[in-house]
Chain A
């Protein structure tokens, strides 16, 4: 199973960004209402995640305290809509009576930390390796390309489960998730960056620098990398939902962040069995997860379209 799906990314290897280029870019982006809505939503999610502990404290709820009084004799939430009330805005969790609003709110932190963290890891590894492979070529390219092939050949989810079991129990699980998901998603970034670096290598301004005696490091970081920045940024944006999805999938399979730390994936996994008797338990975390991935995808799409007019909607 692939964790990311960004092969189709089409960003032209740009010229060094100029002020006018930036203006038209923002202009184009601002016209894409769907993308702007996505961007706003992402900002809202981030703000909510940052202030989640404060918000829950103000409301007097938390995702850990059991409230068995909110359940009926069978362990299902008592009352309408999964126990929705003035006290519990999203109702309560079956079998525990914990406040679902607090769980969903605090769960955003897990999703965003893993999503962003893992993406940073994969972008870093992928960019560095892709850059070196494309720019240096030769055996470096061979090794990196085979590395990409190997990563594609490994069953990522299965390995993540195994690594989770191999890692010492004292190793922080959240960090482990970030690293593992990141390490298993760098290959497609590397592939794209390699392709672009390969193209840039033969371009005039790079050759000129080399002819003037600039070292590899200088050319790589001053000439090639800035030209790839747009690609990497867009790629990162549309990779975050993949990483969030991977965390949710792992939690769904029972190997994500350890309980009782809230996680949307785990809530969804648990809620699925409850769907017939308590549909709201699935609806709230499901919508939260769907919302952030949708917003990030819309935002990333808009970014790409703005950078690459050819694929854009209006011309």
Chain B
């Protein structure tokens, strides 16, 4: 009963949040003093043709109506234009980009491999590096090693991502000629080239984020190592290595996984700066281009999708939290 109600409340909240996010996105971009129909009008553009374009794009409607069409379109699909030449946007339709002349869903699906490749690789890297560094720092606390790790971590947190990224391109790409400078190669084309092109963005993102995980792991680890049950374990004569890996680490994983889930959710929604720096066409780059073109349907669609990822990640984190930490389940 309780579990059902929990799930029910969570789902209601999720739907509410997603509706609010899409409505807010519509509201802000409708206020933008630019006319998206102007771009779709062609040249030379007569006032009559501008009107036609506006009607075709649905811009002559109130933005609340536009928003509602967007919401219903997710379930029923949408069509634009008249019979014979209608542009179909099958469900789940997240809108139609009149600038790129493609359904937003297709664009998202097309860009997803790029964003996922960047995000997942970087996340694995920083999780491993961050947790390892944090454990080592905690076990060796107060030593030079601990100090060095924590200073590196703070440096990582402090460095602006675009600066590190661009310096990485200049140093490893151009000067040392070790890795490709930019661009994305699909995994299906060549797994080796795929990984090779992604090494630099992975490392840059990992360098920036691992720091946070190292600090978190260290703090949690210290907490665990000083706790009652670890002391008991030690008293029983269990080796320190076993104490750390079996007992303390388990304690660390709960908050780390929580943070990881949230971060990953955000990252999967697109990394604007990283994608721009490395000329990779993921969701972040899609959004940035959409702003320049005032491509409202694309902005709303991608924002909605990203928000959905974050909301789902939140939910998963809660579930995992329950599994890993029995105290929560009670």
Contacts and interface: CB of A to CB of B under 8 A. Distances in A.
Chains A and B touch each other in the complex, with CB atoms below 8 Å apart:
yes
Interface of A: 1-2, 5, 7-8, 10, 34, 142, 145-146, 149-150, 152-155, 157-159, 161-163, 165-166, 241, 245, 248-249, 252-253, 265, 268-269, 272, 275-276, 286, 289-290, 293-294, 296-298, 301, 310-311, 313-315
A153 B17 contact: yes
Given A1-B272, A146-B13, A158-B288, A8 B24 contact: no
**Secondary structure of the A contact surface, majority rule:** helix
A275 B162 CA distance: 14
B306 interface: yes
Given A154-B21, A155-B303, A249-B162, 13 more contacts: A1-B272, A146-B17, A149-B13, A154-B303, A155-B269, A157-B273, A158-B288, A165-B32, A252-B162, A253-B288, A276-B174, A290-B158, A294-B154
B218 interface: yes
19 contacts: A5-B212, A8-B212, A142-B13, A146-B16, A150-B24, A150-B307, A152-B314, A154-B24, A154-B303, A154-B307, A155-B302, A157-B272, A158-B299, A165-B32, A268-B162, A275-B170, A290-B163, A296-B158, A313-B147
Interface string B221-259: 011001000000000000000000000000000010011
A249 B266 contact: no
Q: Which 8 pairs of residues, A with B, have the shortest CB-CB distance?
A: A153-B307, A293-B158, A8-B216, A311-B219, A294-B158, A149-B17, A153-B21, A166-B31
A249 to B, nearest CB: 6
B271 interface: yes
B32 A248 contact: no
Contacts of B158: 241, 290, 293-294, 296-297
**Secondary structure of the B contact surface, majority rule:** helix
B321 to A, nearest CB: 14
A4 to B, nearest CB: 11
B25 interface: yes
Contacts of A290: 158-160, 163
Contacts of A165: 32-34
B139 to A, nearest CB: 13
Contact of B273 (A1, A10, A313): A1
B20 A150 contact: yes
Given A8-B219, A276-B170, A313-B141, A162 B28 contact: yes
B306 A153 contact: yes
Contacts of A315: 141-142
B259 A249 contact: no
A155 B272 contact: yes
